[in-house]
Amino acid sequence: MIRIIFLAAFLMFPAAFARADGELQSHRASYDISLHSTAGGAAGVVTAKGKMRYQIQKVCGVWETESVFSIDVGYEQIGLDTTNWKQTTRESADGCRFDFAVYMREKGADRKDLAGTAVCDAGKKRVRLTIPVASEAVLPKSVVFPVQQTLRLLDAARAGKGNVFSYVYDGTRPESLFSANTAVTAADGFSSPAVKGDADLIKNRKAYRFDTAFFEEFAAPSAADGAPAYEVSLYSYDNGIGDQIVQNFGTHRLLSVLTDLKRLPDKPCAEKTKRRKTKGKL
């Protein structure tokens, strides 16, 4: 099964869409996935085709996300391998709570593979897993979660900074703590091909390029010294919408192309909604 990368450190990539006032835009984005390039060889990847959908929505001040991947990867020796994967998260605006769950789809049903919560606690960030087994880990205070990382990258791009270094926990695996080193450059003249839906979200927007190397902080002793676990390159508009996303796994690269955009409304707290309805009846 291909290793899934959550699009969170700006999906890790296009995680969220920042408006001019610094707020994030609730939205849904769809992508086509294909094989960008391969190193070849007897065990190499020869084909890849799939779909990805990413959704983020502000609900009562909390960012709720859903990432869904469906991809078929063909290997020279073992043939076709199919992955159907989903992650849901809830991240507080202050970056002090991150709820996450990962599902694998088997026989038409979603099976929960991972679930947990990370919270700020006594100057640290504490991760508690409930699935697959109850466990706990303590991370440094400097660790950020996906939406925080997105905001950090967009802020750096607007400020003209050329590099951003972060520790990121994305909740895709129990040990999914990464150090992420991102090169930020302007991408003047970049524009996406025809995009369906609310394409005005990216019309005439300034764009940047983000090139990120992710290093596993809990890497196995056999991991290549100093080599990133994987790399991601993408173009991001100044409102955070990403396109032309290339994931480099070493043996092969996958390309995700934006095909459809949809605005979603921010949802107020239930109590505020109730008050507005009551007021309308008077």
Asked if residue 85 is part of any domain, the answer here is yes
| Paired tokens of 8 | 């969170």
Domain count, the chain: 1
pLDDT of residue 175: 83
Distance CA 89, CA 104 (A): 15
- Residue 258 structural domain: 17-107+142-275
Judged against a pLDDT cut of 90, whether residue 279 lies above it is answered with no
Distance CA 132, CA 10 (A): 26
CA distances from 106 to 61, 78, 84, 112, 113 (A): 34, 20, 8, 10, 11
Asked if residue 2 is part of any domain, the answer here is no
Distance CA 217, CA 137 (A): 13
pLDDT of residue 217: 83
Give which of 107, 100, 101 is closest to 82, Cα–Cα. 107
pLDDT digits (tens, 9 = 90+) for 91-125: 998 999 999 999 998 777 889 999 999 999 999 99
Asked if residue 246 is part of any domain, the answer here is yes
Question: Which phi-psi region, left, alpha or beta, contains residue 108 (left: φ > 0; alpha: ψ -120 to 50)?
Answer: left
Asked if residue 129 is part of any domain, the answer here is no
Asked if residue 281 is part of any domain, the answer here is no
pLDDT of residue 226: 72
pLDDT digits (tens, 9 = 90+) for 25-82: 788 999 999 999 998 776 789 999 999 999 989 999 899 999 999 999 999 888 899 9
The pTM is what?
0.85
Judged against a pLDDT cut of 60, whether residue 9 lies above it is answered with no
Read off the pLDDT band of 128 (50, 70, 90).
very high
Mean pLDDT for the chain?
85
Asked if residue 114 is part of any domain, the answer here is no
The least confident of 167-176, 180-189, 263-272 is: 263-272
State mean pLDDT over 6-17. Answer: 42
Q: What percent of the chain has pLDDT over 70?
A: 84
Asked if residue 148 is part of any domain, the answer here is yes
pLDDT digits (tens, 9 = 90+) for 203-253: 988 899 999 999 988 755 555 567 898 999 999 888 778 899 999 998 899
Asked if residue 137 is part of any domain, the answer here is no
